[in-house]
Amino acid sequence: MTYKSLSNTGVSIPEVGLGTWNYHAGVEPLRKGLDAGALFIDTAESYGTEMVVGQAVAGVRARVFIATKVCPEHFRFRSVLEAADGSLKRLGIEWIDLYQLHMPNDKVPIEETLAAMEQLVDAGKVRFIGVSNFSVAQLERARNATRKYRIVSNQVRYNVVDRTIEADLLKYCQANGITIIAYSPLARDFQSILDCDPDCALAEVARRTGKTIAQVAINWCLCKDGVVAIPRGNSTAHVVENCGASSWRLTAEQLQFLDRSIRWRRRGPMETFIRSMLPPPMKRALGILVQMLPRGLRRRFK
Ligand SMILES: NC(=O)c1ccc[n+]([C@@H]2O[C@H](COP(=O)([O-])OP(=O)(O)OC[C@H]3O[C@@H](n4cnc5c(N)ncnc54)[C@H](OP(=O)(O)O)[C@@H]3O)[C@@H](O)[C@H]2O)c1
């Protein structure tokens, strides 16, 4: 497993971590992922997976980099402190390595939220502060609001078919030494990636490199400076396979071939805004409807 620097902290983290949103496979696949070198697990208070993560790291906790997140409904000062205590308890650990604001919440001043995050660092309950789903403008506001500690990471959607962050956020983070933690590196349901690859370019590169399609897709993310990825697998086979996305690199020619062949897209600001306003049940219903569309149309809505 290759490690990458976490911002300018002096700490390095595995370039492939274990995502746990919608994870329901128990302790074993996570343990096998740790054995395969992915000593980095991402969870959140809202995922309902902090307990299984805690069980998976029992006995090896000090070697594992544990990232979790506080929900936007808990961004008031006292609520942040309480949420962190809740996560620590569910995880059964004494400190959180990376505590992330799950998504922006304009209703609470970011200064208030970050003051609580900094207090958690002072108390030794949190090592590093990160954010998730923050735009450049939101990240700048957050960075200006910290007093003692830096924002070290931004966890955002990034994969070979959704390259929205390349418009500005990726460059901004690279220029400012903020690590990008790429979530949904397999486009959330894997079939989405295949939908956008009508000429089977990923399969062709997989054949040439002796890797699998999933490994090629994850490695595509890892080829970018300052980017680590957190695929989620619900089986030992998937988790271990995904760890094999590390410690090798696609060539420049293979990257260009994928860039030319895959029907990747960037979400525009209006689409991003509308998506952020949709309530989760409506998002789920739309997701089901999109699955029923023919492949050519389906990929436009991913
Ligand atoms: N911060 C945020 O707002 C946010 C949002 C979304 C996700 N995340 C984080 O990012 C993590 C990963 O993103 P994600 O859960 O959206 O999805 P993902 O990792 O992009 O894709 C998961 C899907 O790919 C399948 N898969 C995994 N490995 C595979 C393989 N080797 N071959 C074929 N299919 C494979 C999984 O199937 P199985 O489940 O059957 O293995 C699942 O259907 C989450 O778990 C979470 O930790 C964060």
**Mutational test site, ligand 1, from 138, 186, 191, 202, max ligand atoms within 8 Å of CB:** 186
If you take atom 34 of ligand 1, which residue's CA is the nearest one? 190
Is 295 part of a structural domain of the chain? no
* pLDDT value at residue 297: 67
Helices (H), the chain: 27-35, 50-57, 77-91, 110-122, 136-145, 169-175, 191-195, 201-209, 213-222, 236-243, 252-261, 269-277, 280-291, 295-298
Report the pLDDT value the prediction gives residue 41, as an integer from 0 to 100: 98
Asked if the structure places residue 56 within a domain, the reply is yes
pTM for this structure?
A: 0.93
Pick from 16, 20, 21 the residue to mutate for probing ligand 1's pocket: most ligand atoms within 8 Å of its CB: 21
The per-residue pLDDT for 287 is 74
Nearest atom in ligand 1 to the alpha carbon of residue 237 is: 31
pLDDT at 285: 75
CA of 124 to the centre of ligand 1 (A): 31
Report, as residue numbers or ranges, the catalytic residues. Answer: 47
Atom of ligand 1 nearest to the CA of 155: 1
Q: Distance between CA 229 and CA 297 in Å, rounded?
A: 28
**What pLDDT is stored for residue 299 in this prediction?**
65
Q: Residue 284: inside a domain, yes or no?
A: no
d(CA 94, CA 85): 9
| Structural domain includes residue 235 | yes
User: Tokens standing for 216?
Assistant: 């090629």
- Ligand 1, atom 19: closest residue by C-alpha: 231
The CATH number given to whatever domain includes residue 198 is 3.20.20.100
The pLDDT assigned to 301 comes to 65
Nearest-atom index, ligand 1, CA of 183: 10
Radius of gyration of the chain (CA): 19
Task: Give 100's strand partners.
Answer: 69, 130
Residue 281 lies in a domain: no
Tell me which residue range forms the domain holding 200. Answer: 3-266
Nearest CA to ligand 1 atom 4: 183
Q: Which of 86, 95, 25 is nearest to 56 (CA)?
A: 25
Rounded CA-CA distance 106/298 in Å is: 32
Domain presence at residue 228: yes
Q: How confident is the model at residue 158, as a pLDDT?
A: 98
Is 210 a member of any domain? yes
Mean pLDDT for back-to-back runs of 10 residues, the chain (302 residues): 98 98 97 98 98 97 98 98 98 98 97 98 98 97 98 98 96 98 96 93 98 98 98 98 98 97 84 73 73 68 64
Give a yes or no: residue 162 inside a domain: yes
- Please give the tally of structural domains in the chain: 1
Distance from residue 165's CA to the centre of ligand 1 (Å): 18
3 state DSSP class of 121: helix
Q: Which two tokens stand for residue 4?
A: 């990458």
160 and 262 Cβ atoms separated by less than 8 Å: yes
- For residue 232, report the distance from its CA to the centre of ligand 1, in Å: 4
